[in-house]
Chains A and B, each alone.
Chain A
Amino acid sequence: MNYFLTDDQKMIKDLAAQIAREKIAPIAAELDESGEFPWDVVKTLAQSDLFRVFVPSEYGGLGGGMFEMCLVVEELSRACSGIALAYAASGLGTIPIILFGNEEQKKKYLPRLAAGEILAAFGLTESGAGSDAAAIKTTAKPDGDSYVINGTKQWITNGGEASIYTVVALTDPVRGVRGSSTILVDKDHPGFTFGKKENKMGIRASATRELVFQDCRVPKTNLLAKEGMGFLVAMKTLDQSRPGVASQALGIAQGALDQAIRYSRERHQFGKPISAFQGIQFMLADMATQVEAARALTYAAARSIDAGEKDVSRLSAMAKVFASDTAMRVTTDAVQVLGGYGYMKEYPVEKMMRDAKITQIYEGTNQIQREVIALGLIKESVRNQK
Chain B
Amino acid sequence: MKIFVCIKQVPDTTNVRINPETNTLVREGVQSIINPFDVYAIEEGVRLKEKHGGTVTVITMGPPQAAEALREAIGLGADNAYLVSDRAFAGADTLATAFALACAIRHLGGADIILMGRQAIDGDTGQVGPGVAENLDISHVTDIRKIEEIVDGRIVVERLLEEGYARIAARLPVVLTVVKEINTPRMPSLKGKLAAKKAEIPVLKASDIGADVERLGLNGSPTQVMKIFTPPKPGGGRKFTGEPADTVSALLSELTAAGITIKGAH
Task: List residues of chain A with CB under 8 Å of any chain B CB.
Answer: 7-8, 11-12, 15, 18-19, 22-23, 44, 47-50, 52-53, 62
Q: Is the CB of A49 within 8 A of B186?
A: no
Is B191 engaged at the interface, CB distance under 8 Å to the other chain?
A: yes
Min CB distance B166 to A, Å, is: 32
19 additional contacts (CB under 8 A) given A44-B186, A62-B190:
A7-B197, A8-B194, A11-B190, A12-B190, A15-B187, A15-B188, A15-B190, A15-B193, A18-B187, A18-B188, A19-B187, A22-B187, A47-B189, A48-B187, A50-B190, A52-B190, A53-B190, A62-B191, A62-B194
B194 touching A48, Cβ below 8 Å: no
Complexed CA–CA distance, A16 and B77 (Å)? 18
Q: How far is the CB of A181 from chain B (nearest CB, A)?
A: 35
Compute how far the CA of A159 lies from the CA of B124 in the bound complex, rounded to whole angstroms.
Answer: 51
Nearest-neighbour CB distance to chain B for A280, whole angstroms, equals 28
**How far is it, in angstroms, between the C-alpha of A47 and the C-alpha of B187 when the chains are bound?**
8
Give the docked Cα–Cα distance between A49 and B189 (Å). 6
15 contacting pairs across A/B (C-beta < 8 A)? A12-B190, A15-B187, A15-B188, A15-B190, A22-B187, A44-B186, A47-B187, A47-B189, A48-B187, A48-B188, A49-B189, A49-B191, A50-B190, A62-B190, A62-B191
10 residue pairs, one from A and one from B, having the closest CB atoms? A49-B190, A49-B189, A48-B187, A48-B189, A49-B191, A11-B193, A44-B187, A47-B186, A19-B187, A47-B189
Q: With the chains together, A47 CA to B23 CA distance in Å?
A: 43
Q: How far apart are the CA atoms of A23 and B194 in the complex, in Å?
A: 22
CA gap between A11 and B187 in the complex, in Å: 13
- Total A-B contacts with CB atoms under 8 angstroms apart: 35
Chain B, 180-235, CB within 8 A of any chain A CB: 186-191, 193-194, 197
Chain B residues 73 to 109 lying within 8 A of chain A, measured CB to CB, are: none
Say whether chain A's binding surface is mostly helix, strand, loop, or mixed: helix
- Chain B residues within CB distance 8 Å of chain A: 186-191, 193-194, 197
Chain B residues whose CB sits within 8 angstroms of the CB of A8 once the complex forms: 194
A22 to B187, CA, bound (A): 9
Chain B residues within an 8 Å CB radius of A11: 190, 193-194
**Shortest beta-carbon distance from A68 to chain B in Å:** 10
Q: Closest B-chain residue to A7, C-beta based?
A: B197
How long is the Cα–Cα vector from A52 to B193 in the complex, in angstroms?
14
Point out the residues of chain A lying under 8 angstroms from B187, CB to CB: 15, 18-19, 22-23, 44, 47-48
Q: Give every chain B residue within 8 A of A52 (Cβ-Cβ).
A: 190-191
Query: Which residues on the B side are within 8 Å of A23 (C-beta)?
Result: 187
> B residues within 8 A CB of A44?
186-187
In the complex, what residues of A have CB within 8 A of residue B190's CB?
11-12, 15, 48-50, 52-53, 62
Interchain nearest-CB distance for A35 vs B (Å)? 25
Q: How far is the CB of B235 from chain A (nearest CB, A)?
A: 36
Give the residues in chain B near A49, CB-CB below 8 Å: 189-191
A5 CB, min distance to chain B CBs, angstroms? 14
Residues of A within 8 A of B186 (CB): 44, 47-48
Closest partner residue, chain B, to A49 (CB atom): B190
A45, closest chain B residue (CB): B187
Residue of B nearest to A52 (CB): B190
**How far does the alpha carbon of A50 sit from the alpha carbon of B192 in the complex, in Å?**
12
Nearest chain B CB to A264's CB is how many angstroms away?
23
For the complex, give the distance between the alpha carbons of A273 and B188 in Å.
39
Please name all residues of chain B whose beta carbon is closer than 8 Å to the beta carbon of A50 when the two chains form the complex: 190
Contacts of A48 in B (CB 8 A): 186-190
Min CB distance, B38 to chain A, in Å?
18
Q: Which A residues touch B188, using CB under 8 A? A: 15, 18, 48
Nearest Cβ distance between residue B192 and chain A, in whole angstroms? 8
In whole Å, how far is A25's beta carbon from the nearest beta carbon of chain B? 14
Q: Which single residue of chain A is at the shortest CB-CB distance from B77?
A: A47
Looking at B187, B188, B189, the one whose CB has the most chain A CB atoms below 10 A away is: B187
CB A199 to nearest CB in B, in angstroms, measures 31
Complex-state Cα separation, A18 to B186, whole angstroms: 12
A166 to chain B, nearest CB (A): 25
A175 shortest CB reach to chain B, Å: 45
Query: B193: nearest residue on chain A (CB-CB)?
Result: A11
Q: How far is the CB of A11 from chain B (nearest CB, A)?
A: 5
CA distance A22 to B186 in the complex (A): 11
Closest B residue to A50 by CB, please name it: B190
A165 CB, nearest partner CB in chain B, Å? 27
CB distance from B33 to the nearest CB of A (A): 13
Which chain A residue lies CB-closest to B186?
A47
Bound CA span A15–B189, Å: 8
Docked pose: A7 CA to B190 CA in angstroms: 12
Chain A residues near B191 (CB-CB < 8 A): 49, 52, 62
B189: chain A residues at CB < 8 Å are 47-49
Q: Which residues of B contact A19 (CB under 8 A)?
A: 187
CA distance A22 to B193 in the complex (A): 18
